[in-house]
């Protein structure tokens, strides 16, 4: 079993829809959670960075962490065609030698 | 503009050849990382460096080598011992390797076999 599981998609939605992207994980030591957006042939771009459980909002994006269920989500409101990309979740423990563990990414397509 | 610059964007390797991928950052970050990205797999850590003149192996270091002689530079050499080098290589950096600050990425180098 992988430490981080993420549905590869593709997830196809109409413009204006609310998108929900999710990751599950198995390591209860993970404390820091990130979402990256990656356009084709580009490097990942940090979207959201959260610590422990709870919600964090930034514009149209909301990151949610449920440590009791080992489940994290990224919600995108009023989705736009420019949101079409692959979304990677990533997480790590609190130790200073802990590595960042990535999901495989979910490909999102927003059509006009 | 501060950022991470990877070059070249595309690189081709012949059999038995070593190739070097460049990564330069002007963010004044102490820590730098190299990842490999293959379709259907998450990013896998090759090497990382938390300070100049020091680096550590990641999960898939075999067939790769690095150096960290300057804070802003962390080149990766893909040696002929790496039998399956075709992949998208990503360089990242963070403030330091100890304070759980997020990593920021360059735009990658795509390496292919000729």
Residue B33, min C-alpha distance to chain A (Å)? 10
Q: What is the pLDDT of residue B96?
A: 78
CA distance A111 to B95: 37
The b/e string for A4-39 (b: 16+ C-beta within 10 A; e otherwise) is bebeeeebebeeebebebbbbbeeeebbbbbbbbbe
Q: What is the pLDDT of residue A81?
A: 97
| Percent of chain B residues topping a pLDDT of 70 | 96
Long-range contacts of B17-20 (CB under 8 A, 24+ apart): B17/B80, B18/B77, B18/B78, B18/B79, B18/B80, B19/B77, B19/B78, B19/B111, B20/B75, B20/B76, B20/B77, B20/B78
Q: Which of A95, A90, A99, A30 is nearest to B56 (CA)?
A: A99
Residue B13, min C-alpha distance to chain A (Å)? 19
Q: In the beta sheet, which residues pair with residue A38?
A: A86
Interchain pair B41, A32: CB under 8 A:
no
| Mean per-residue pLDDT over chain A, rounded | 94
- Which of A32, A96, A100 has the CB atom closest to B98's CB atom? A96
Q: What is the pLDDT of residue B45?
A: 96
pLDDT tens digits for range A43-83: 999 999 998 888 999 999 999 999 999 999 999 999 999 99
| Percent of chain A residues topping a pLDDT of 70 | 98
Strands annotated E in A1-112:
4-5, 11-14, 19-25, 32-38, 45-51, 54-58, 61-66, 71-76, 85-92, 101-102, 106-111
């Amino acid at each position: 079993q992988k430490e981080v599981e993420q549905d590869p998609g593709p997830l196809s939605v109409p413009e204006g829809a609310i998108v929900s992207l999710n990751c599950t994980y198995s390591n209860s030591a993970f404390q820091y959670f990130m979402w990256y957006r990656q356009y084709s042939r580009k490097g990942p771009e940090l979207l959201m960075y959260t610590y422990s459980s709870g919600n964090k909002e930034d514009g149209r994006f909301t990151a949610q962490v449920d440590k009791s269920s080992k489940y994290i989500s990224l919600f995108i409101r009023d989705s736009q065609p420019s949101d079409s990309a692959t979304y990677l979740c990533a997480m790590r423990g609190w130790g200073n030698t802990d590595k960042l563990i990535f999901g495989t990414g979910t490909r999102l397509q927003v059509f006009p | 503009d501060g950022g991470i610059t990877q070059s070249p964007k595309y690189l081709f390797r012949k059999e038995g050849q070593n190739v070097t991928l460049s990564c330069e950052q002007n963010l004044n970050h102490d820590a730098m990382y190299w990842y490999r990205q293959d379709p259907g797999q998450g990013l896998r850590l090759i090497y990382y460096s938390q300070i100049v003149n020091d680096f550590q192996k990641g999960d898939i270091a075999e067939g790769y080598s690095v150096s960290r002689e300057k804070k802003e530079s962390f080149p990766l050499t893909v040696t002929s011992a790496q039998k399956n080098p075709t992949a998208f290589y990503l360089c990242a950096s963070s403030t330091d390797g100890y304070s759980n600050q997020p990593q920021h990425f360059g735009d990658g180098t795509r390496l292919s076999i000729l």
